[in-house]
Structure 1
């Protein structure tokens, strides 16, 4: 790919970020759906490999300590970061769907008393369908959550293998990686994110 296209892509991405940051959320629910990849209380797990950001225009100097471990760690971190972004999307979809559903049910309950026929239609046909959809959504969220937790554990164990291979740190997952696993398990728990009650 020609260099001007590569730098144009970076400029486009930077421009999109600036545009996104300049537009305030429409309401508090929009704000709550914004991704937060560094939430309060998130543990910082130490890594032994000194990984630096990928150079954009300047070639970096060789470093034997870094060059040996960096490919292993960089790939494991890339997978972990991708998984964390998917978790944030799941959280945003889950919380906004449940909020919207609760408001729809509250609206239907409050307006169903206007007329007996409307109330009957609401309570026997419409509300049960919404509640069934809500249960199906909760089931789908829970299944995706379990899948992502399995993937997260695999990502962290990959980092543990890199630690063991390059730094003889055999217990990295048990001592450090599991802290992040436990935090993510709680933060994205279906009981916390999509609590129907």
Structure 2
């Protein structure tokens, strides 16, 4: 994890609010090391934590049973948030004022964490940027067929641990954390990739 303690020179009293950044990359690529939270920490008077989680097969391979349940990348995020609760006070952070935020797959992660029973008490505000758990492309109720697909997009799955039910059902039954939540999209969201998607569609037709 990367931590940045905001400057004490402003004379503000400790502890500071904590912001935990979850990077994007389609759950396949990306890294915490690509992000520098120093400006946010300095100018907004917060402690910034940037977390890393397992990606690709290492993070999300599943056999659909107890032998390899999957969602290990999401469990990494839960463990990082538990670490924050236990240790962030040593860095001047307030464990009772933790905001998680992320973009793209990080935004999906944020909204998935809102649906997981493992997240209870680990954070208090959430911001999902350009990503949501409602994206069906990234979630498989039965992961085995998806794993056999040569065009694999590493799926999250209903493992009974991190996710106890399909996302749609959790939304319909309101089984999610009731905390302040902000979400949004970019202008022309996904527009850069439309041409490549259509080109591939025509080539394979």
> Under TM normalisation by the shorter chain, which class is it?
under 0.3
How high is the TM-score relative to the length of structure 1? 0.27
Larger Rg: 1
Report the structure, 1 or 2, having the larger helix content.
Answer: 1
Pick the structure with more strand per residue: 2
Relative contact order: is structure 1 or structure 2 higher (C-alpha 8 Å, sep ≥ 6)? Answer: 1
TM-score by length of 2: 0.26
